[in-house]
């Protein structure tokens, strides 16, 4: 990334952060009249949502800035709207994280208590809180379900109110509708896979991964940036396809990192996927090999020792599953590059530069 790009990304990041802060400030101020518990829920939600890398809003703004006619004019009305929609995209992400955490029964995210964890801590410190852990957990999960609803609603509100043309509004609403449907379908399939209710074929796992991650993390911001910049339908569709390839590649990398990466760098608990028995592409591939009978009984065991987990990781490598998924990642990133470089896609040179930059970042990713 060039120094200029780096600088403009920092500026965008600050603008998005300011807007997210001001969103929460308005909501906290409005919440007070509905009682202390509701106000406190908003405060904890702000805290739990802070510190992210803002991947999605920054992608949206990168595309918008590359394509918008008044590019560079940071003060323009169009860019203000792009910032509002960038915030909406991040709120959608927060909302999904909250409901995923409830569904996955997690209380920690990236080494910090998530909203459920924060509500639990708060209840532990309250004199009037129920003494039973089950009841405190119920309170904490209730808070996360309800805050997820509020943020999902807020995302739709921001997009419905965006100052855009009728055509753009319909395009954004269609995009949002599909994103919500696919993300939910992906999450449902993920849980179905983990319970054995959905057969764990590789194609199913790849579809689930695309829907659960690629749509919301890459396709949504890339397409939204193009819609807001007034790009034609062809450009939007190319960006959608590029987003799906990059998003799938990104999540498959995540799966690899969880098992073979350095926890100090990727921030998740080492071997957590193996302990949870997550149905990733790595596992779906291993299932088709002759090593499966020795892998299966250890997978998803709660008390899996680090030694056993390391053995499993070595086995996943020896059976060729690691190499196969690494191959998939290379294919997806290459497919994205091919689309970006194809003269037939007629992407603006400025947009090509942004997408090449993004692909390079993913290619060198180890965290």
In the complex, minimum distance from the CB of residue 81 to a second copy, in angstroms, rounded to a whole number? 15
How many residues sit close enough to a second copy to count as binding (CB under 8 A)? 59
* Phi, psi values for residue 105, rounded to 5°: 60, 35
Structure tokens given for 360: 């390079």
* 187 in contact with a second copy (CB under 8 A): yes
* Phi, psi values for residue 113, rounded to 5°: -60, 135
Burial of residue 147 (CB within 10 Å: 0-12, 13-18, 19+) is: buried
Radius of gyration in angstroms for the set of CA atoms belonging to the chain, rounded to a whole number: 21
In the complex, minimum distance from the CB of residue 123 to a second copy, in angstroms, rounded to a whole number? 7
Residue whose C-alpha is closest to residue 64's, from 172, 146, 198: 172
Single out the residue of 135, 330, 346, 360 in contact with a second copy (rule: CB under 8 A): 135
Residue whose C-alpha is closest to residue 63's, from 216, 231, 214, 175: 231
Q: What angle do CA 292, 366, 331 make, to 5 degrees?
A: 65
* 271 in contact with a second copy (CB under 8 A): no
* 30 in contact with a second copy (CB under 8 A): yes
* 23 in contact with a second copy (CB under 8 A): no
Site string for a second copy, 91-110 (x = CB under 8 A): ----x---x--xx-------
Residue whose C-alpha is closest to residue 46's, from 26, 69, 76: 26
Distance CA 116, CA 133 (A): 13
Site string for a second copy, 158-177 (x = CB under 8 A): -xxx-------xx--x--xx
* 148 in contact with a second copy (CB under 8 A): yes
Residue whose C-alpha is closest to residue 42's, from 159, 154, 131: 154
Whose tokens are 């269609």? That residue is 174
In the complex, minimum distance from the CB of residue 364 to a second copy, in angstroms, rounded to a whole number? 33
* 114 in contact with a second copy (CB under 8 A): no
* 196 in contact with a second copy (CB under 8 A): yes
CA separation, residue 348 to residues 3, 68, 226, 233, 334 (Å) = 21, 11, 11, 14, 20
* 207 in contact with a second copy (CB under 8 A): yes
In the complex, minimum distance from the CB of residue 48 to a second copy, in angstroms, rounded to a whole number? 16
In the complex, minimum distance from the CB of residue 118 to a second copy, in angstroms, rounded to a whole number? 14
Instruction: Count CA within 13 A, CB hemisphere, residue 83.
Output: 20
Choose one: 3-11, 62-70, 155-163, 335-343; the region binding a second copy (CB under 8 A). 155-163
Distance CA 267, CA 250 (A): 16
Structure tokens given for 362: 């993913």
Site string for a second copy, 216-235 (x = CB under 8 A): --------------------
Single out the residue of 21, 157, 165, 294 in contact with a second copy (rule: CB under 8 A): 157
Of 27 and 266, nearer to a second copy (C-beta) is 27
Of 95 and 359, nearer to a second copy (C-beta) is 95
CB atoms inside a 10 Å sphere around CB 174 = 12
Residues binding a second copy (CB under 8 A): 30-31, 34-38, 41, 95, 99, 102-103, 123, 126, 128-130, 135-136, 138-139, 142-143, 145-146, 148-150, 152-153, 156-157, 159-161, 169-170, 173, 176-177, 180-182, 184-189, 191-192, 195-199, 204, 207, 211
């Amino acid at each position: 990334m060039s120094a200029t790009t780096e600088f403009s990304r920092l500026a965008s990041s600050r603008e998005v952060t300011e807007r997210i802060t001001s969103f929460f400030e308005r909501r906290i101020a409005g919440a007070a009249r509905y009682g202390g518990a509701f106000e406190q829920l908003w405060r904890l939600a702000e805290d739990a949502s802070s510190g992210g890398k803002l991947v999605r809003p920054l992608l949206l703004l990168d595309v918008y800035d590359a394509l918008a006619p008044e590019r560079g004019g940071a003060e323009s009305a169009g860019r203000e709207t792009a910032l509002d929609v960038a915030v909406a995209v991040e709120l959608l992400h927060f909302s999904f994280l909250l409901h995923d955490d409830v569904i996955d029964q997690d209380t920690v995210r990236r080494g910090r208590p998530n909203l459920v964890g924060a509500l639990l801590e708060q209840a532990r410190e309250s004199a009037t809180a129920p003494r039973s852990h089950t009841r405190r957990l119920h309170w904490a999960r209730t808070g996360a379900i309800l805050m997820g609803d509020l943020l999902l609603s807020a995302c739709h509100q921001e997009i419905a109110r965006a100052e855009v043309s009728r055509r753009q509004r319909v395009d954004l609403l269609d995009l949002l509708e599909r994103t919500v449907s696919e993300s939910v379908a992906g999450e449902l399939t993920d849980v179905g896979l983990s319970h054995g209710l959905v057969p764990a074929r590789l194609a199913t796992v790849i579809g689930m991964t695309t829907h659960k991650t690629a749509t919301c993390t890459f396709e949504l911001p890339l397409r939204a940036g193009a819609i807001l910049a007034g790009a034609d339908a062809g450009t939007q569709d190319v960006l959608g396809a590029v987003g799906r390839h990059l998003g799938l590649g990104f999540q498959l990398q995540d799966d690899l990192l969880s098992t073979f990466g350095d926890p100090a760098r990727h921030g998740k608990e080492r071997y957590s996927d193996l302990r949870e028995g997550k149905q990733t592409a790595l596992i779906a591939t291993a299932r088709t090999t002759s090593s499966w009978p020795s892998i299966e009984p250890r997978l998803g065991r709660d008390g899996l020792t680090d030694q056993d987990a390391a053995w499993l990781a070595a086995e996943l490598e020896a059976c060729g599953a690691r190499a196969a998924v690494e191959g998939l990642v290379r294919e997806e990133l290459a497919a994205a590059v091919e689309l970006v470089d194809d003269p037939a896609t007629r992407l603006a040179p400025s947009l090509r530069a942004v997408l090449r930059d993004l692909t390079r970042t993913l290619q060198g990713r180890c965290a």
